[in-house]
Amino acid sequence: MIEEKLEILLITYNRSKDLENTFEQLLESPFAKCKLTILDNCSDDDTPIVCEKYYELFHNLKIIRHARNIGAVSNYLRAVEISKYKYSWILCDDDNYDFSDCDDIIEAIMTGKFDLISVGHPNYSNWIRGVETTVKKLIESGSTFFITQSFLPSTIYKSELFDSNCIYYGYLNTCNFFPTFAFINKAIEKNFSVYVSKKTIVSRSKNDIGFSIMEWYSGWLNSCLLIENKDSRIKAARELPVKGNKFIFSMIYSEKILNKKRFPNIYLSFFSGFLLIFWGSREFFSCFLIIFAILIPSTSYKYFKKIYNNF
Q: Which long-range contacts (CB under 8 A, 24 or more apart) does 206-209 make?
A: 207/15, 207/18, 207/94
pLDDT tens for the chain, 311 residues long, are: 899 999 999 999 999 999 999 999 999 999 999 999 999 999 999 999 999 999 989 989 999 999 999 999 999 999 999 999 999 999 999 898 999 999 999 999 999 999 999 998 765 556 788 899 999 999 998 888 999 998 999 999 999 999 999 999 999 999 999 999 999 999 999 999 999 999 999 988 766 666 788 888 899 999 999 999 999 999 999 887 665 666 777 777 777 777 778 888 888 888 888 889 888 877 777 777 677 666 666 555 556 555 555 55
Contact 42, 48 (CB under 8 A): no
- Indicate the angle between helix axes 230-238 and 263-278, nearest 10 degrees: 130
- Structurally, at CATH architecture level, domain 2-203 sits in Alpha-Beta Complex (3.90)
What are the boundaries of each domain within the chain? 2-203, 213-309
